[in-house]
Structure 1
Amino acid sequence: MRQQDRLGLILENLNTQSSVGVPELADRLGVSQASIRRDLQLLQEQQLLTRTHGGAVASGVLYELPMRYRGGRHQQAKRAIAKVAVERLGSDVGSVGLNGGSTTTEVARALVNRSSLRVVTNALNIASDLAVRSNIDLVVCGGSARAESYELVGPLAELTLANINIDVAIIGVDGVSVTAGLTTHHEVEAQTNRALLKSAERVIVVADSSKLGRRGFARISDLSAVTELITDDGADPADIEALRRSGLQVYQAVT
């Protein structure tokens, strides 16, 4: 397992348990206790946790896992979701909008073989990946950068999105529920995502099964703004049924 993936899993455990122990982490992740201690020291230097004797505790409340540590979480499911999302686009789509996130990053990677495609994004990591692709016409929104998500957000990004028309927006979110709709952790990010939704004729939400039934702090939109949702086959059938009863088309990628 890559160190980056280990760090993400350590933070994910802290997010749910508030404390972790070195021996338990070493057993769970299949590495030495010395490696875990080095990981914890690195995360403490980044002020993401506080070391204790034999482990670590969360520094405050970890509401949002930094983007750089999300790659190893549900990776197979995210790749399968991305594959289905690109297949669902069809051949006549000329422009696609992508916000930031680990699942939309996989969508961007799945788009690289498409020709004559314009991609609009506010995600710096996605822009970096696609900028070298001569078959992709890349449009990047301006805005203020969020270190947690690598997204450009705020009035400049929203001004760009308000003045363009996109065939399909593919949106990653932190929570999808019948009652709360689409949600994320940060209110400014939610507002920029809302602008991306409004610029698109069709909206596809990509969210792995861990996001279903959850609600984040900031609301992006009601489910009525969404054309379809693509998730994975690990989703709770009750969550899928509730979303379908609300009128949403739901597709499940096989992992």
Structure 2
Amino acid sequence: MARNLQTDGHLRPVDLARGHGLSTQAVRNYEEAGILPAAGRTAAGYRTYTPLHARALGAFLALVPGHGHRTAASIMRAVNRGAAGEAFRLIDESHTQLLADRKTLQAVERALRDLTSALDGEAPGRGGVFVGPLAQELGIRPATLRKWERAGLVHPRRDPLTGYRVYGETDVRDARLVHQLRRGGYLLEQIAPVMAQVRGAGGPEPLEAALRDWHGRVSARGRAMLTGAAELEAYLRARG
């Protein structure tokens, strides 16, 4: 909740702004965007706010870390026009997305564990593998490997004499990881950023630090949603 707000029921834009560490222009922008209820006006035409506006602003700012600016704004606009059901639907969608993110993280971790186990029993420095034998090893069709290549998930080189695709040790690793994620039900477009992380980290092992960071961000977002829900409930009670 805002700090050092007046309690006489009348707040100037600067009071509301300072109480939340914002500029007065930001407060006016939020009002114009429907995030805050419409302000009252003095006889001279100056805006006046109330503790209810402070509650609305506090709720919006608390919703942003968990739901993002755009969704938080949509939630507040729905509440302010009396469409609480729409606001709750938007909140439910954010929770659904967070759950999907958690499941994706778990799938990546399982896939990496399976991949590491498979590679542990394999001699280092494995030579190139053609598309047919690799597809047979994975239990998929060669056309599937070519589809993954078009999607940018695997990057085999071409044999300079025959033009055939040749999968090196890293390519085989990538193909196995894609295969594990596909078995988990993930779409190619969902797998692409994971593969980018694996390559950027230099392989599955260095990715462990990224996964820990991912866990932290998912947990932080979940906690932020709880904080946002508490502030929104306080605003709803204040609205009556």
Task: Give the TM interval when normalised to the shorter protein.
Answer: under 0.3
TM-score, normalised relative to structure 1: 0.22
TM-score, normalised relative to structure 2: 0.23
Higher relative contact order (CA 8 A, sep 6+): 2
Could you say which structure has the higher strand fraction?
1
Could you say which structure has the higher helix fraction?
2
